[in-house]
Amino acid sequence: RNLQTILQRKFPIVLYGPAKYKRFETISVETLHDLDFHMSVSTNVDYNDGRVKNFLMKYRAYFSTEPKDHSFCGYDLVSYFADVLSQYGRDWRYYVGEKRSELLQTSYQFQQVGEEGGYMNVATRRMEYTPEFKLQAVR
């Protein structure tokens, strides 16, 4: 509410925050657009992406239904690890931290978190609510 007051005084504002701001009942979607809200998310599907459109057509033809979030997640996981496996063979686990991939719903870039192994995905997607009422990826 205070940011909206400042915004009405014609001060330029860009709000950065977690994706959970979208779920706050006291913040309208219009306010997020007005405040040029930027957030980092682990998953997001861009339905204007040609790869997503291609996936949707094939999924609908094969399963006769719309894909759920888990459909995109499964596709991305298999795509990433199949690519790493085909590129590095049996030694794929030694190279998993060297490959970054931008997939349909998720990006992957694994970073080793333990001396004896263990990796964590550190890739995120930055999204922006624009004043033109669009939600777009920030590159």
Q: Say if residue 27's pLDDT is above 70.
A: yes
Q: Say if residue 67's pLDDT is above 90.
A: yes
Provide the whole-model pTM.
0.70
Q: Say if residue 65's pLDDT is above 90.
A: yes
Write out the two tokens for 34.
Answer: 């007005």
Contact 123, 108 (CB under 8 A): yes
User: Tell me: the pLDDT tens digits for 69-79?
Assistant: 899 999 999 99
User: Tell me: the pLDDT tens digits for 129-138?
Assistant: 888 888 887 7
pLDDT band of residue 1 (cuts 50, 70, 90) is: low
Say which residue, 109 or 7, is predicted with more confidence: 109
Give the C-alpha separation, 128 to 111, whole Å: 26
Q: Say if residue 84's pLDDT is above 80.
A: yes
| Contacts of 107 by beta carbon, 8 Å cutoff, 6+ apart | 100, 101, 123, 124, 125
On average, the pLDDT of the chain sits at 86
What does the pLDDT read at residue 11?
76
